[in-house]
Structure 1
Amino acid sequence: MITVRKAADRGHADHGWLDTWHTFSFSTYQDPKHIHFRSLRVMNEDRVQPGKGFGTHPHDNMEIVTYVLEGALEHRDSMGNGEVLRPGEFQRMSAGTGITHSEFNPSETEPVHLYQIWLFPKEKNIEPGYEQKLYPEDEMTGQLRLVAAPDARDGALRIATDAQVYLSRLQSGTTVDHALETGRHAWLQVLRGAVELNETPLSTSDGAAVSDETRLQIRATEDAEIMLFDLA
């Protein structure tokens, strides 16, 4: 079963410095039909204006992953990390027992376009942690590149929840497949372009919840970039 979450149906807020779309209930957007899917709690697509950002704020007991599509995002946290996240880099932060952090667009001229995603952790009150890694384009092109997993295999970042996160860039007409084990679920987010998921059409910023399927076939109907979550 595939349930499509169309981009235009998401929650939306334009704060001037921040233009944001919420797949699931978040902040002032509350929709009882869209609170979470499995361990996925937040799927926010944000555009932050030059020189603006999120001031220091707390998190706990959440796995937070961030991916920049365009521009750059500067991160600072209470663990002493201070990094700039750019396209092709994937960031994982385990909030665990509690952290504070800020995120800021360091550019004076260019906006930053990003996804910030929260997942429920498998265990509460773990030690906070942070990782960031650049994945070469050729490792994501035409194939599903594992970027986060509980066992950190194949060079993926270690994430403290029962989820596997993949990135892929597909040229029009190309296909990738993914097998789902019995009892597993999936979420596909189209970051840009257009694809068919088991012949179900999806466009830029659309998402799709998948249950009771054993095989996913993702075919690009135009050049596309996707993020796939394999979930318990």
Structure 2
Amino acid sequence: MFVLRPSSQRGSADHGWLKSQHSFSFANYYDLAQMGFSKLRVINQDMVQPSMGFGTHSHRDMEIISYVLEGNIAHKDSQGNVRTLPAGEFQLMSAGSGITHSEYNHSNTQALTFLQIWIEPNIKGQAPGYQQKDFGQNEGLTHIISPNGAVDTLQIKQDMHLHQLILSTGQSTHLTNTLANQYVHLVSGKLDVNGVEMGPGDGLKITDEVKLVFKSVDEEAVQALVFELP
């Protein structure tokens, strides 16, 4: 079964320094029908003005993924990590028993755009953790996150997987599913998934499908995130 969530139906917020689009209920945006999907709780597309950002705040028992689309994030947390996250890299912060952190736009001239993604963990109360990696821009599906950190993936406290999908014009690839649910978030281009066409910002909830076939159907290259979820 496929349920398309068009980009135009996402919630939105404009705080001046921050403009955000919410795929699921978040902060002042509330939709009882959009409380998440399986263990995927949040996908926010955030655009942060130069030199602005999220001041020091805390999280507990949440797996938080950041993926930068444009610009750089300046990250600092209570575990002593002081890092810069450039476009194309993935960050996974395990809040565990509690962590405080700040995320700022590293530039004083250019806007920062990134995806903020929350996954509910299956293990709570453990020590916080931080991981960051550049997986490149290889065509096809690239395995980014897994429960056991296999094949140099980032390790998450949940039975789920995250893949980066990149396709040039006319190219296709497929995924044979091992978990009950999948979710596709399209960043750019136009994508056909088993006959369902997606545009930028769209989300696709998928259940009970054995195989997914991804096809690029536009001149612009496809960039997407593919979640396998319990």
Q: TM-score of the superposition, structure 2-length normalised?
A: 0.97
Could you say which residue in structure 2 is the equivalent of 1:115? 115
Alignment partner of 2:175: what SS? strand
**Offset, 1:9:** 0.1
1:152-207 alpha-carbon deviations (Å, 9 max, x no partner): 111100111111000021101111100113x5110000011110111100000101
Is residue 80 of structure 1 aligned with residue 87 of structure 2? no
Amino acid at match of 2:199: S
Among candidates 138, 156, 160, match of residue 159 of structure 1: 156
1:55-204 correspondence to structure 2 within 5 Å: 55-137=55-137, 140-141=138-139, 143-181=140-178, 184-204=180-200
1:3-18 correspondence to structure 2 within 5 Å: 3-18=3-18
**Offset, 1:21:** 0.5
- Looking at structure 2, the residues matched to 87 and 207 of structure 1 have their Cα atoms a distance apart, in angstroms, of 21
Amino acid at match of 1:124: K
Q: TM-score of the superposition, structure 1-length normalised?
A: 0.96
- Looking at structure 1, the residues matched to 149 and 142 of structure 2 have their Cα atoms a distance apart, in angstroms, of 12
Alignment partner of 1:144: what SS? strand
Could you say which residue in structure 2 is the equivalent of 1:220? 216
Q: Which runs of 5+ in 2 are unaligned?
A: none
1:25-36 correspondence to structure 2 within 5 Å: 25-36=25-36
- Looking at structure 2, the residues matched to 157 and 135 of structure 1 have their Cα atoms a distance apart, in angstroms, of 10
- Looking at structure 1, the residues matched to 86 and 187 of structure 2 have their Cα atoms a distance apart, in angstroms, of 15
Q: How many percent identity over aligned positions?
A: 39
Amino acid at match of 1:186: Q
- Looking at structure 1, the residues matched to 177 and 143 of structure 2 have their Cα atoms a distance apart, in angstroms, of 14
Amino acid at match of 1:196: D
Alignment partner of 1:213: what SS? coil
Over aligned residues, Cα RMSD in angstroms?
A: 0.8
- Looking at structure 2, the residues matched to 193 and 37 of structure 1 have their Cα atoms a distance apart, in angstroms, of 23
Among candidates 221, 226, 229, match of residue 227 of structure 2: 229
Q: 4+ residue stretches of structure 1 with deviation over 3 A?
A: none
